[in-house]
Chain A
Amino acid sequence: MKNRSTYCVNRRDRANGGWSVSAVLALAIGGLIPSAGYAYTAAGDRNFPAQLILPQIGPIDALWVPISTQPFEAVKDKDPMRKTNFTGTYSKLITEQFGIQLEYGLTHLDRLRASPVTGTPNFHARLQYEPVLDPEHEFLLSVQVDREFGGTGDQAVGSDKQGATTPGVTFAKGLGDLPIGYWRALAITGFAGYQAAEGARTNFFQAGVSIQYSMPYLVSKVANVELPPFLRGMTPMTEVFFTTPVSHISGQGTNTTLVVAPGVSYSRGRGWELAIEAMIPTTRATGSGIGVIAQLLLQLDYLLPDSVVGRPIFRPTELP
């Protein structure tokens, strides 16, 4: 209730004065980055952990809930000083290789010399198809289309009236098939996409990579290393995500974003996964200080394997 009244007040405030253009731009671009957490999948004996910044690398039956907070530079009154996102994504397999994700959430803005405001970001729906899965080489590739439905969120927290469509491609490669000793536990993932916006919104090119060192892979595929049980489930990882406008907005200068997110993921193969990363902004548009993102992922196909939420809607025929 408090949030709703605050939101109403601030919508009026915004209409009367509003934020500085740079703050709006920073917020809008910032919204491209960590608002969504993403999931995981596997290729052969390689389980890729959930990613927090980059899109998921393959379709899955899962539910994940990331929460992130990032400070921004406030130039004038009511500019956002900190943006906190709480997002929920439900991911459902339609077939074994094709799935849909539905994403919604809440955004909370702390503002300079103004009361905070809470509202919803725009609703996202995402289709993803995995045409390439090479278990032997621990490689997979997916294509996806993300649709942001404009006007479904609150403009008070920076949600656009116009929507956007982002086709993209993701890949993941484990190095377990290479003769490189302990480095076999390494894996890399990547994403590239193009956000085609409607109306006055800027189009963006997006790209990112992650590098991860899987302790579960190390102790199950490489060597019997003496590690405490807690460390056996850890995957240190660093994600890097980059966006740059393709159509330049007059008078705004560069508004490229680049966030570097080192962190760690924890999973013991029990149907859940927990991860946390620092978000280190490298441009003003990305943020003004180090943020944090944490994510809990529930593998519905593990926890509810016999229910409709835990298996693809359409499956190949099972032999008797």
Chain B
Amino acid sequence: MERKLVGVLFAIFGPIFWAVAAAATPAGTVIGVSGSCTDHGHVLSRGDAVQIGHTLDVPADGNLTLQMADGSVISVAPGSSVTVASYSIGGSVRDVRLSLMQGMLRARVTSVAGPSTFEVSTAVGTASVSSNSADWFIKAKPDSAQVAVLAGTVDLTSTETGQSVSIPARWGTRLETGLDPVLPRVWAQGEFNAVIRLTGA
């Protein structure tokens, strides 16, 4: 009788415990911080864990670098606000969804063996890595987004029109509210260096 009861309780609460444990699994860890960067009001320090669902705010005089659970590194520029909507690493499958409403980040995305989704949504569209790995930048404003790719390939899709462009290494483009993405163009090294400096990476 006792064994049956334990089994029933396990069947009921097991999945809940698993879900809670999964939710509590950190998406990444702070490996670099300057200024008063916060996670839900909590001032971040080096070594702090970042959880799924949390929003990270980087002040105008700050920088934040995260080592993610899959080994990817995300560097957040001053004046940015990033939400880790999803960061799921299961076996060789990756499903990452970040939200960047303002500011800029650099994502150095590692390769995984299996299917991978690594996307950053903004107010005007979504950028998604379409190569195995990538090193790229995305800058978001309420009315526009800009993507530049150092390595790999990233697709940028307009939320409103559904049109997308594919951006290869050393290229970049912009997207404005309610419009198609601008045709990509080659970025000069000076342009890349400027965003590398901003993200402090």
Contact = CB atoms under 8 A, between A and B. Distances in A.
Max chain A Cβ within 10 angstroms of own Cβ: one of B160, B173, B184: B184
A306 B169 contact: yes
A220 B189 contact: no
Nearest to A42: B185
Interface stretch (A72-80, A290-298, A312-320): A312-320
Interface stretch (B21-29, B30-38, B190-198): B190-198
Contact of B185 (A47, A224, A315, A320): A47
Interface string B162-185: 010110111101111011111111
Contact of A318 (B174, B182, B186, B193): B193
Contacts, number: 80
A13 interface: no
A222 B160 CA distance: 14
A121 interface: no
B186 A42 contact: yes
A319 B106 CA distance: 13
Interface residues of A, number: 32
A47 B176 contact: no
B186 A269 contact: no
Contact of A220 (B168, B181, B188): B181
A42 B185 CA distance: 7
Given A42-B186, A45-B182, A311 B170 contact: yes
Contacts of A223: 179
B189 to A, nearest CB: 4
Contacts of B174: 45
B199 to A, nearest CB: 10
Contact of B180 (A216, A305, A317): A216
A232 B179 CA distance: 12
B46 to A, nearest CB: 20
Contacts of A96: 188-189
Contact of A224 (B173, B178, B196): B178
Closest 8 CB pairs of A and B: A269-B183, A42-B185, A305-B169, A316-B189, A319-B196, A220-B180, A220-B182, A219-B180
Given A42-B183, A315-B189, 15 more contacts: A47-B182, A216-B183, A220-B181, A221-B176, A221-B182, A222-B179, A224-B179, A268-B165, A269-B183, A302-B168, A303-B168, A310-B170, A316-B189, A320-B196, A320-B201
